[in-house]
Amino acid sequence: MLRARKSLLSRYIKGQEQRPVKLLQIQAQIAALSGTIDQLEQAGFDAAEARHLMAERRKELKGMSRR
């Protein structure tokens, strides 16, 4: 069983609703890049550039989530 105060849940929900669109876009890019890397590797291509781009997006996402 999970218990929480209504005020705590309300704050959490409000915070989630106010997340910047950019943050969500970066998360989507990371997910897409993960799939691209898998496809490249399965096809026998070097995925180093895609991995680098994904690492950069993760750094950007980490910096934004700290704000």
Q: What is the pLDDT of residues 19-55, one digit of tens each?
A: 677 788 888 888 888 888 888 888 888 888 888 888 8
pLDDT given at position 66: 62
Mean pLDDT throughout 2-6? 78
For the record, the structure tokens of 21 come out as 């669109």
- Overall pTM surpassing 0.85 (yes/no): no
pLDDT given at position 46: 87
Kindly report the three-state secondary structure assignment for every residue of the chain: CCCCCHHHHHHHHHHHHCCCHHHHHHHHHHHHHHHHHHHHHHCCCCCHHHHHHHHHHHHHHHHHHCC
pLDDT given at position 65: 65
